[in-house]
Amino acid sequence: GLLDTGVPMPPSAGALGDLGQLEALQRSTLHLNSSQIGNAGEGKAATDNAVAAPAVSTIALSCATSVKMTEAQLSLMEQALRIEAESTASGAGNIVRGAVMGDWLRCPHSPLAGDCLSFHLPLHRALARSLRCLCSVTVSKIEREGSPRNWWKLPVLDDESSSDEANSLQHPLAALIRPTIRSSNCRVVWAAGPDCSSPEAQSRRARSRLVSSSIAAAKIIHSLCDHPLRCLVASQQIERHLWARNGSAAAGMALNYGSAPLCRSFRDLDLTMIQFSAAGLSIGLGARRVFALLLSRFSLDGYLCDPERRGSGLSPTGSVGSGGGGSPTSYGSSSGWINPPRMQDPDHASALTECFFSTLCILITELPSPPPSSATDHTALRCNMKR
């Protein structure tokens, strides 16, 4: 089976030592496997950087508040960050850095299973409001044609990476928040022990702060999409009576969240943040990761797959194939779809699928207006007045 975080579960608890360690791994949120690096580590990254091959090939660490790792794990993360930065710099079409550690984070969260949820995200929505204001700033046609690769960039967040080799691994957001990082945020168990010379101690602190700021930047980039998405998913679930035990209080919150006039300060801003993250660029997850996160938050992981490839014994038309009868976990008497592994109640399958596609349609169609090209262009203003 798979853990909630997507890491393959060991064949027995003894492989990890004890059940406590297995539980800690299942709730961990930072994962890196050497296979994710692939062949990118060969060639330039291996020749230009005299870094020894890491002694570990897999990382699974908890980073909810702080992270503790070994020196070998730190070396693997540094190598992955270096390859990620070099692949971005060498790409001909890359004009921004992209999400740091975009595929490393796993954040299990399911309000239907008892996890906490709040509809109030003041910092996220303040950023969404700022983004909408930036989108309403007039950008003349001359400026767009004169600087086609820069006029749309956000100040600070989309700044070009430093040419200094020491700072080449840093994401622009990591460099911004690095002064706020404490030494306790990232603790490293050094192979040579705590005693070292002064230059070595300075090098250790620099390496630790670099990785710590990169992890913090990755968590921020992930949360900019994840937390608004949780609110959208919860409101859709409440509207379809999946939260019936919470009574009228939850129904009232979902009603205010998605109905005018309060939706301007809740739902609309959350949509903006998710769309902004799906656009990718420097502090966005990108369309592929946002789509995968959308599936995860609706508990539809592995649900909309080819039934034959899932081994249900049914053809896509619902007829029984030569492999035998239908799977006992299949939804419906003649359906080849398989219930999501994380879904507790099979009756929720159709409702959650409907929620997923309706939310996806809203995200794609309700896009903000482009920046006006002249002072007489009032398209964005008219769209805001319609709401």
What pLDDT does residue 315 have? 44
d(C-alpha 54, C-alpha 360), whole Å? 41
Sign of CA dihedral 351, 356, 360, 363: positive
Is the pLDDT at 321 greater than 50? The verdict is no
Query: Tokens 């062949």 map to which residue?
Result: 39
What pLDDT does residue 233 have? 92
d(C-alpha 6, C-alpha 152), whole Å? 36
What pLDDT does residue 167 have? 56
d(C-alpha 251, C-alpha 238), whole Å? 6
Burial of 310 (0-12, 13-18, 19+ CB in 10 A): middle
Are the C-beta atoms of residues 16 and 26 closer than 8 Å to each other? Answer: no
**pLDDT digits 0-9 by tens, 251-283:** 999 999 998 888 889 999 999 999 999 988 778
17 vs 78, more confident: 78
What's 53's DSSP letter?
Answer: P
* pLDDT level of residue 373 (50, 70, 90 thresholds): confident
* pLDDT level of residue 317 (50, 70, 90 thresholds): very low
What pLDDT does residue 324 have? 41
d(C-alpha 134, C-alpha 272), whole Å? 12
d(C-alpha 82, C-alpha 189), whole Å? 21
Backbone angles phi, psi at 105, to 5 degrees: -85, 140
What pLDDT does residue 66 have? 81
What pLDDT does residue 340 have? 60
**What mean pLDDT is reported for the chain?**
74
Query: Tokens 């798979």 map to which residue?
Result: 2
Q: Which alpha helices (H) appear in 147-246, and where do they start and end?
A: 172-177, 198-239
Q: Count Cβ neighbours within 10 Å for each residue of 98-127 and write b for 16 or more, e otherwise.
A: bbbbbbbbbbbbbbbeeeebebebeebbeb
What pLDDT does residue 97 have? 62
* pLDDT level of residue 171 (50, 70, 90 thresholds): confident
Is the pLDDT at 151 greater than 60? The verdict is yes
d(C-alpha 40, C-alpha 55), whole Å? 18
Are the C-beta atoms of residues 220 and 106 closer than 8 Å to each other? Answer: no
The region of weakest confidence among 97-106, 154-163, 227-236, 288-297 is 154-163
d(C-alpha 107, C-alpha 19), whole Å? 21
**Alpha-carbon Rg for the chain in angstroms:** 24
d(C-alpha 298, C-alpha 234), whole Å? 9
Q: Count Cβ neighbours within 10 Å for each residue of 169-208 and write b for 16 or more, e otherwise.
A: bbbbbbbbebeebeeebbebebeeeeeeeeeeeeebeebb
What pLDDT does residue 149 have? 79
**pLDDT digits 0-9 by tens, 6-36:** 444 455 544 444 545 555 555 567 888 777 6
56 vs 341, more confident: 56
238 vs 332, more confident: 238
* pLDDT level of residue 193 (50, 70, 90 thresholds): confident
Backbone angles phi, psi at 314, to 5 degrees: -115, 145
What pLDDT does residue 107 have? 83
Is the pLDDT at 137 greater than 50? The verdict is yes
Q: Report, as an integer, the average pLDDT of 161-176.
A: 64
* pTM value > 0.85: no
Q: Report, as an integer, the average pLDDT of 351-371.
A: 87
What pLDDT does residue 73 have? 86
**pLDDT digits 0-9 by tens, 80-102:** 888 877 766 555 455 556 677 77
Query: Tokens 């609110």 map to which residue?
Result: 231
Q: Report, as an integer, the average pLDDT of 350-379.
A: 85
